[in-house]
Structure formats: C-alpha cells, structure tokens
Amino acid sequence: MLELSHVQVLFGQKPVLQDLSFTLKAGQRLGVLGPSGEGKSTLLRLVAGLLKPDSGQLWSEFLHPVLVFQQPRLLPWRSVLDNVQIPLRAQGLSAAQAKERALYWLAQVELADVAQSWPGELSGGMAQRVALARAFALQPDLLLLDEPFSALDPALRNSLAQVCLRCLEETGAALLYVSHQPRELMRVADSCLLLQKGQGQLFELASPGDTAAREQLADSLYAQLLSQEALTP
C-alpha cells in the first residue's frame, strides 16, 4: 500500500504539490489527471523515490516501483532484446534467465518478431511497447506511467492501453497512471485523482462494464481540465 498524507513539494518557493493526501492499495489502478504544470510528473517522481516531500508524509509498502517515461528511452545502439534484458542482467539474472524473461515480455506486448531489430527501425507505438515490456520484465509491484502514449494517435493509445491492462492483470501490479486524456484513463483505472493547483480530488469510477457512466465522467473531467487551462495565465 502507498499512502500520502498532507504532502507538499516546493520548487524554490513555489508549491507544486500541496496538502495532497490519498491511498493506493496493492493491485489498485489510479489515474492522475491535470493540466500541465500541476505536479503530475512530480508526483510520480516522488512515489518512485526520486524526490522527497518538503512536508507531510509518504509511506509505501511497494518494494519494486518501476517508472515508464513519456519517451521510450531505448538505447539506439543495442537491439530490442538487449534493451529489455540489460536491466535484468543488472539485477543479477544470468544471461539465460534474462533472455528468457525478456523474450516472454516481448511476446506479451506482441513484439517477439522484432527482438533482434534496432530501436531506429521501430514505429513510435512499437518503441513504447518495448518500454512496457522492459518495465514488466522488472517485475514491478507498482507501475508508474508518465503519459507514455501522449505522442501517439487515439487508436494506438487505445491499443497500448489494452496491452498495458492485460499485463497488469497478469502481474497484479498496482498502477499510478498520469495522462491528459480522461477517456484513456477510464480504460485502465478504477479510480481517478484530479490535480488542481497542486491539490487532489479523488473520483471513484463505475465498474468497467458501465461504459456510459465512465464516459460521462470522462467528459465531465475533460471539461474541468479545459476550463482550468483557460483560467491559467
């Protein structure tokens, strides 16, 4: 479980997150929405242990959080397979173990046939799937996604969200997923945190089968995002 209690993060004298409190349980999937500059990426770095709060408390039982950035960050001089298995070797797996696990997760994201390709030969969507395979191969108990599909077209975003959801269901990992797209979050999250002026408002989502209710909430949240961005100087 992850718990934030009245957390504040400052950049200089400016509060980026302030009085932020929420709980994320094992296996839970929380989407995070908010305009640019509202602290979404800061929140992920805080949970990943890359930042410390200036005040408040952060307590986590998650031992293996893995952060996936907006850009895939693949090594262009190494093969797709190497990009997935190199971190596994760094964790102490043997060459055979690392290769077996890397190939398994490349198959799970439907990229087994490009394992020997170079990153430069991949489309943007394929490169992001490699990043997902690398993340799941590390066996996270908490997956942190920082707008990983934002540069892709809507159909491809939907496809990759479904791939991500399938992998989450297999591993049981919890999810903290930052996005500008409410409908994208609705496909994978079971609750949603709306960040406004560094503070969070939590929304529980309808069951996945209640598509109409989820879409209605997505449209309402999108309208709030647009109005907030319009008021931002």
Could you write out the three-class secondary structure of 149-186? CCCCCHHHHHHHHHHHHHHHHHHCCEEEEECCCHHHHH
Which residue segments constitute the domains of the chain, with CATH numbers given? 2-64+140-231 (3.40.50.300), 74-139 (no CATH)
pLDDT at 149: 79
Can you point out the beta strands (E) in the chain?
A: 2-11, 14-24, 29-33, 55-60, 65-68, 142-146, 174-178, 191-196, 199-204
In this prediction, residue 231 has a pLDDT band, given cuts at 50, 70 and 90, of: very low
pLDDT at 159: 82
pLDDT at 226: 54
pLDDT at 183: 76
Residue whose token pair is 């989820």: 214
| Each residue's pLDDT tens digit, 48-100 | 999 999 999 999 999 999 999 888 999 999 999 999 999 999 999 999 999 99
Residue pair 131/73 in contact by the 8 Å Cβ criterion: yes
CA nearest neighbour of 119 among 81, 170, 69, 173: 81
Phi, psi (deg, nearest 5) at residue 33: -115, 155
Q: List, edge to edge, every strand of the sheet that includes 174-178.
A: 65-68, 142-146, 174-178, 29-33, 191-196, 199-204
Q: Give the lowest-confidence range in 98-107, 154-163, 179-188, 215-224.
A: 215-224
